[in-house]
């Protein structure tokens, strides 16, 4: 049996951490869906930047959008939605088969809005309305400014992928925002089915401490943090408050593992996929990791619901000077800064492409 089928049977969804026009046009994404049990995908500015740098797949669309007066961020979101709505349509069978729990794609609000709660709320609503797809998440970072934007967006009926979470505490804050938004909808007589996932980043923990701990401790902290968070997730799902929300008709917010490609060249290329196998969760993985796991991955059972030995492992790292609470905050701030950098690089690439394609766009505009 394909290892991806084993994960599916365990109760974990596999999403692709990638989107390009190329994999839509050449059937690669459809193949992943048919053969590797991929039931959703995520995107971010870096992914789109790499996609546009990879050739001329976007040139015709850019020229057309330029001819219609679009540029900069507006042009990018139009391009991104062209890809993501096509992908969302491919995942519609998974969406319907799961009664709306699976089959999603994700689009991120501008990282430049990370500290502006109100602008994030407005952007999330506008992007979701423009997409016109029920199975499209808007990504909002679970930062201090993002948490109230998540609650309000959920209340307004916008499906949210909470991104940039790095710890149990950050996850619980995101879950609390989702619950408050749903509870407000219930209190006001609104439909409580506003879907959400909470994305916890894993491998960046191990990258951050790789040079600070002995070789035998490498590639262990991220998994321990995931185990601790999974226990909190399972505990929360068992609370009367959570059960009351679901009894009212809401879908559960699901836990999603992100940043699960192996960064350490000495570690197994399927390390995080195998370690993070857990029911009622999602793992979003890059193409290379997906293909590696499908080829030679081994499922060794499900993650322990009680966290296993995670606290013992975290204590070991504390003994080597690793303050996990402080590092979680730093990783979130660094992650937000990386998204801003990637956003500027993406807009610079669009500007360069736009300048090169301006004559072509002018010709299209004249013919129109």
- Cα distance between residue 193 and residue 123, in whole Å: 21
Label residues 69-93 b or e (16+ Cβ within 10 Å = b): ebeeeebbbbbbbebbbebbebbee
- Token pair for 355: 């300048």
Find out whether 346 and 77 touch, Cβ atoms under 8 Å.
no
Helix (H) or strand (E) holding 256: strand 254-258
Give 6-23 as a DSSP string: HHHHHTEEEEES---HHH
Contacts 24+ apart (CB under 8 A), 314-323: 314/221, 314/224, 314/225, 314/228, 316/217, 317/209, 317/213, 317/217, 317/220, 317/221, 317/224, 320/212, 320/213, 320/214, 320/217, 321/212, 322/209, 322/212, 322/213, 322/221
Q: Which of 33, 201, 17 is nearest to 103 (CA)?
A: 33
CA distances from 219 to 128, 211, 214 (A): 37, 11, 11
Label residues 192-215 b or e (16+ Cβ within 10 Å = b): bbbbbbbbbbbbbbbebbeeebee
* Residues labelled catalytic: 139
- Cα distance between residue 352 and residue 94, in whole Å: 38
* Block residue for tokens 């879907």: 195
């Amino acid at each position: 049996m394909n290892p991806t089928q084993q994960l599916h049977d365990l109760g974990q969804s596999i999403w692709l951490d990638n989107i390009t026009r190329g994999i839509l046009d050449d059937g690669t994404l459809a193949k992943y869906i048919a053969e590797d049990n991929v039931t959703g995908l995520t995107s971010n500015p870096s992914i789109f930047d790499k996609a546009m740098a990879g050739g001329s797949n976007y040139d015709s669309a850019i020229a057309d959008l330029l001819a219609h007066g679009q540029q900069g961020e507006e042009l990018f979101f139009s391009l991104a939605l062209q890809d993501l709505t096509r992908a969302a349509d491919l995942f519609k069978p998974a969406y319907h088969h799961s009664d709306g729990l699976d089959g999603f794609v994700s689009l991120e609000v501008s990282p430049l809005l990370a500290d502006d709660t109100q602008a994030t709320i407005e952007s999330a609503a506008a992007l979701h309305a423009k997409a016109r797809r029920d199975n499209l998440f808007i990504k909002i970072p679970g930062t201090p400014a993002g948490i109230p934007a998540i609650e309000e967006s959920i209340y307004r009926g916008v499906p949210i992928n909470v991104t940039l979470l790095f710890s149990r505490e950050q996850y619980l804050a995101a879950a609390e925002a989702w619950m408050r938004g749903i509870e407000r909808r219930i209190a006001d007589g609104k439909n409580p089915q506003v879907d959400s996932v909470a994305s916890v980043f894993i491998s960046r923990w191990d990258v951050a401490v790789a040079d600070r701990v002995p070789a035998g401790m490498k590639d262990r902290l991220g998994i321990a943090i995931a185990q601790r968070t999974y226990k909190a997730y399972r505990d929360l799902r068992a609370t009367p408050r959570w059960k009351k929300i679901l009894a009212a008709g809401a879908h559960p917010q699901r836990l999603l593992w992100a940043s699960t490609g192996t960064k350490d060249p000495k570690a197994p290329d399927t390390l995080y996929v195998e370690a993070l196998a857990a029911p009622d969760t999602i793992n979003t993985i890059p193409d290379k990791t997906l293909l590696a796991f499908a080829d030679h991955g081994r499922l060794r059972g499900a993650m322990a619901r009680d966290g296993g030995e995670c606290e013992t492992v975290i204590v070991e790292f504390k003994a080597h000077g690793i303050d996990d609470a402080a590092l979680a905050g730093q990783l979130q701030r660094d992650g937000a800064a990386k998204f801003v950098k990637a956003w500027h690089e993406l807009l610079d690439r669009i500007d360069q492409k736009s300048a090169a394609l301006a004559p072509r766009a002018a010709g299209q505009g004249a013919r129109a």
